[in-house]
Structure 1
Amino acid sequence: MKYKSEVSEAIHETMQDLHEAGAIGTATMRKFDKSCLTQIEPLAPADIKAIREREELTQAAFAIHLNISKNNISAWERGVKKPSGAALKLLTLVKNKGIEAIA
């Protein structure tokens, strides 16, 4: 899992241990999951292009890092398609932490 910060990771691990011990319930654990993990928001085509250019990657190289086709990158940057699921999560991580976060 990718956490917002090292502090979030430590807090989440502690809460997970408490959940496994029965000290906190599942609903509380879900709240901690949501608050500690990287939040995913839709990205505009210009944002996707800006992320790729900031990382100094071609569309082909960026696609390799995201494990998708170059055509998907092109379609996202033109607004023909929108990233979702795992691809959107990876894009968000690269946006927040740089390509090293997924390399």
Structure 2
Amino acid sequence: MPKGHYRSDASEAIHSAASGLHRAKVIDKKTMREYDDLCIEKAPEFNAKEIARIRKGVNVSQGVFALYLNTTASTIRQWEQGDKKPSGIAARMLQLVQKNGLEIFG
């Protein structure tokens, strides 16, 4: 798990220890999922204004933003109008762009 996606440094340490125990077959898959839920931060939720602000902050059109996020301009438009919400990996990608700009795509 990449650094920064844990709830805290302590959560990262606990998760790392649990992962070692799981690899050693001391804890089962179900227990490991419980540690995942406790330690790893959830993907953020973004509202329409926040998404538009992120895109405008990196100074690109909806079409160009869609190319970076591997989606369609229509999807970006729907997010910015509040008709749809990004979830999962799309929300995580928006979080990364918000924090680091488009340079993360290097």
Unaligned runs of 5+ in 1: none
Overall identity of the aligned pairs, in %: 38
* TM-score (structure 2 length as normaliser): 0.69
Number of aligned residue pairs: give it.
102
Q: 1:52 aligns with which of 45, 48, 55?
A: 55
* TM-score (structure 1 length as normaliser): 0.71
Q: Judge conservation of contact 1:94–1:102 (CA < 8 Å) in 2.
A: yes
Q: 2:64 aligns with which of 55, 61, 72?
A: 61
Paired position in structure 1 for 2:100: 98
Question: How much has 1:82 moved relative to structure 2?
Answer: 2.1
C-alpha change, 1:84 and 1:61, in structure 2 (3 Å) is same
Q: Judge conservation of contact 2:79–2:86 (CA < 8 Å) in 1.
A: yes
Matched residues in 1 for 2:95 and 2:61: separation?
18
Q: Judge conservation of contact 1:12–1:32 (CA < 8 Å) in 2.
A: yes
Aligned-CA RMSD value: 2.8
Question: How much has 1:18 moved relative to structure 2?
Answer: 1.4
The one-letter code sitting in structure 2 at the alignment partner of 1:98 is N
Q: 2:81 aligns with which of 78, 81, 84?
A: 78
Question: How much has 1:54 moved relative to structure 2?
Answer: 2.1
